[in-house]
Amino acid sequence: MIETLHSDELVIGAGLSGLMYGLTAVTEGRSVIISEAHHKVGGYVTSFYRNKRKFHFDCSQHKVTGLNKDSGNLWNALDRLGLQSLIDEFHFYEELTTIVFRGKFIALPSDPEKIKETLLFNFPDEAQGIEKLFEDILSHGYQHYMFARMMLDEYKLNKDLLRESRFLSKLTTREYYNKLFKGEEIVEVLSAVAIYLGAVSHEVNAFYFLHFLYAAFYGGQSYIKGTGQHLSDVLLKEFLNRGGQILKKNPVYEIEDEGDFMQVRTKKKLIKAQRIIATCSPNDVVKMLGKENVEDSFLKTVDSYKIGWGHFGVYAVTSVPPEELGITCSEFLLVSDTGDHFSEDDFFTDAYYDMLTLSVTNYHKIDASGGYIIQFVVLDHGDKWFPLSEKEYIERKEKVQEQIIKRVYQTFPKLEGNLIYVESSTPKTNYKYTLSTQGSAFAYKVLPKTHLGLLNNFPNQKIKLVSSWVSGPGYESAMCFGFTQGLLLNNKKVLVHG
Ligand SMILES: Cc1cc2nc3c(=O)[nH]c(=O)nc-3n(C[C@H](O)[C@H](O)[C@H](O)COP(=O)(O)OP(=O)(O)OC[C@H]3O[C@@H](n4cnc5c(N)ncnc54)[C@H](O)[C@@H]3O)c2cc1C
């Protein structure tokens, strides 16, 4: 007979949201079981090896925000959990990124004042718009960034900003940029950084995007060595040390409300818990409970969101250090000459692979121990991959890989003939390893007028959605939301871990 386990909390999923929630809740003295479908923890924050562990590929880490001492929300969360040694493992970038547009290489440093100087130097006619952008980042963007702390009564809302913030949330970022700037060039350059949020500027709402710009420009961009997997593994170790329990290779299938407790059917165990923390997609929680057991109004809310972008990733190894082949910075964002404003037709005909921002990351520069690793990433959507037969899938994957590599060669011709290993991932690969709906890597799209906060009130008090589907994507968002909910749902007792 299947074994039954009891706990205060059952967390579905050991991504960053689940690990941080679990860690906070056990620190608060709750008994917590995390049930994870995969054989390793981390969700998107994992890694994989090839060639007898000589090549080590990071699945997601580019920039981790929020680690500036005192001012960063992630720094604050880790500090309060007593994880100073983990904080010390983060290294800060000296450069944010290098944007390549129409043959020009614009290197953005990591310091916000220097980012501004660089923009003013490259776009002197746009000085007024640049000043206004930074004003908005420091007002609306900052306030949005501080929502997590406001929930803990640690930030007082500036009500004077609300009217304009509301207005900004009705615009796309591209519409907002078009209002600020006279020329199209700066709009294309600044649209490129939306890739970090898994978004494109003509979709993502401007208010939400300003919070990301605050985090990216002012929050300190950092990385951890040993790939993002190391971060996930450290969080797991702390969770276990503080009394938590993990069940790996253990997908959750079904949830039933038994009145006093929730009964959860998983692959290996039956779990009876007082509360369920779901870090998987809200669509999956509805399936686990059965649609008939969820209020119509909530079903409509879930249906109203658009599943966000996944990505097409090319994982490559070079024959010599990438720096010798012209990939001198840790990251380049290649912007198409015509910008990234694609139409439905461009999506349909696959022209978007040539139009969307393409990131080229030099992992060797960040952490040489993984090998001569470089990666190319472009946003891609599950709709393009899930309906295909196996044969169609393989053919399309090869075709898209070739198209992307060719695009990279145009900027870095020395790479040609020097890639000694290449493999790719698609939104279907994302699904395989994270069970994320439609292989979305960045949860729902935050379009104008989209409020993810509506997902905070799941119509069953014993279920709480705690994931990037609710907080928005990103290491910092996922970790801080897990932490904040861990405090809020458990009476905010842990302010500083002793
Ligand atoms: C290519 C790429 C690059 C990125 N780069 C960055 C970056 O540089 N900086 C940044 O801040 N963010 C980045 N992100 C985004 C960031 O990785 C994610 O937003 C974040 O990791 C999401 O964490 P999560 O815990 O909410 O979800 P997930 O990582 O999706 O974790 C969910 C977990 O739940 C498990 N699960 C799902 N269903 C079940 C079930 N039924 N039963 C049991 N377990 C289940 C999954 O296996 C998974 O482990 C990137 C993402 C990608 C794909």
With pLDDT > 90 as the criterion, what percentage of the chain qualifies? 96
DSSP-derived pairing of the beta strands 331-335 and 262-266: unpaired
User: What gap in Å lies between CA 393 and CA 88, rounded to an integer?
Assistant: 43
User: What gap in Å lies between CA 278 and CA 12, rounded to an integer?
Assistant: 5
Angle, CA 213 vertex, CA 331 and CA 322 arms, to 5°: 5
Nearest CA to ligand 1 atom 18: 474
- Ligand 1 centroid–CA 310 distance in Å is 11
| Ligand 1 atom closest to residue 441's alpha carbon, by position in its atom list | 53
User: What gap in Å lies between CA 353 and CA 474, rounded to an integer?
Assistant: 23
DSSP-derived pairing of the beta strands 32-35 and 245-247: parallel
- Report pLDDT for 495: 57
86 pLDDT more than 90:
yes
The residue whose CB lies within 8 Å of the most ligand 1 atoms, and thus the one to mutate among 247, 264, 279, is: 279
C-beta of 376 in contact with ligand 1 (< 6 A): no
C-beta of 251 in contact with ligand 1 (< 6 A): yes
Nearest CA to ligand 1 atom 5: 60
CATH of domain 3-47+66-88+224-306+438-488: 3.50.50.60
Nearest CA to ligand 1 atom 35: 13
- Ligand 1 centroid–CA 42 distance in Å is 7
Q: Give the residue extent of every domain in the chain.
A: 3-47+66-88+224-306+438-488, 111-219
| Ligand 1 atom closest to residue 41's alpha carbon, by position in its atom list | 49
- Ligand 1 centroid–CA 468 distance in Å is 8
C-beta of 424 in contact with ligand 1 (< 6 A): no
Nearest CA to ligand 1 atom 1: 60
- Ligand 1 centroid–CA 118 distance in Å is 33
The one-letter amino acid code at 158 reads: N
Find the helix packing angle between 112-122 and 127-136, rounded to 10°: 160
Work out the average pLDDT over 361-379.
97
Find the helix packing angle between 112-122 and 206-218, rounded to 10°: 110
C-beta of 20 in contact with ligand 1 (< 6 A): no
Work out the average pLDDT over 268-272.
98
User: What gap in Å lies between CA 397 and CA 5, rounded to an integer?
Assistant: 43
Q: Which residues contact 419 (CB under 8 A, 6 or more apart)?
A: 316, 317, 318, 319, 405
Find the helix packing angle between 227-241 and 16-27, rounded to 10°: 20
pLDDT tens across 160-188, in order?
Answer: 999 999 999 999 999 999 999 999 999 99
The residue whose CB lies within 8 Å of the most ligand 1 atoms, and thus the one to mutate among 41, 46, 60, 442, is: 60
C-beta of 14 in contact with ligand 1 (< 6 A): yes
Q: Which residues contact 324 (CB under 8 A, 6 or more apart)?
A: 414
Structure tokens, 478? 């996922």
| Ligand 1 atom closest to residue 19's alpha carbon, by position in its atom list | 25
Judge whether 422 and 315 are in contact, CB under 8 Å: yes
C-beta of 227 in contact with ligand 1 (< 6 A): no
**DSSP annotation of 336:** P
Nearest CA to ligand 1 atom 16: 474
Nearest CA to ligand 1 atom 49: 43
- Report pLDDT for 496: 54
User: What gap in Å lies between CA 252 and CA 244, rounded to an integer?
Assistant: 18
Judge whether 247 and 266 are in contact, CB under 8 Å: yes
The residue whose CB lies within 8 Å of the most ligand 1 atoms, and thus the one to mutate among 16, 21, 44, 277, is: 44
Judge whether 189 and 335 are in contact, CB under 8 Å: yes
Q: Which CATH architecture has domain 111-219?
A: Orthogonal Bundle (1.10)
User: What gap in Å lies between CA 174 and CA 204, rounded to an integer?
Assistant: 8
Q: What is the mean pLDDT of the chain?
A: 96
**DSSP annotation of 277:** E
Work out the average pLDDT over 422-434.
98
Q: Which residues contact 147 (CB under 8 A, 6 or more apart)?
A: 155
With pLDDT > 70 as the criterion, what percentage of the chain qualifies? 99
H or E element in which residue 254 lies? strand 252-257
Nearest CA to ligand 1 atom 2: 60
- Report pLDDT for 1: 81
H or E element in which residue 479 lies? helix 475-488
pLDDT tens across 278-329, in order?
Answer: 999 999 999 999 999 999 999 999 999 999 999 999 999 999 999 999 999 9
Longest dimension (CA), the chain: 73
Judge whether 459 and 257 are in contact, CB under 8 Å: no
- Residue 148 — very low, low, confident or very high, per pLDDT cuts 50/70/90? confident
Among 63-72, 245-254, 417-426, the least confident range? 63-72
C-beta of 311 in contact with ligand 1 (< 6 A): yes
User: What gap in Å lies between CA 403 and CA 277, rounded to an integer?
Assistant: 41
C-beta of 363 in contact with ligand 1 (< 6 A): no
- Ligand 1 centroid–CA 43 distance in Å is 4
C-beta of 22 in contact with ligand 1 (< 6 A): no
| Ligand 1 atom closest to residue 62's alpha carbon, by position in its atom list | 8
- Residue 498 — very low, low, confident or very high, per pLDDT cuts 50/70/90? very low
- Ligand 1 centroid–CA 17 distance in Å is 8
Work out the average pLDDT over 368-379.
97
Work out the average pLDDT over 89-112.
96
- Report pLDDT for 491: 79
C-beta of 18 in contact with ligand 1 (< 6 A): yes
- Ligand 1 centroid–CA 44 distance in Å is 4
Nearest CA to ligand 1 atom 8: 62
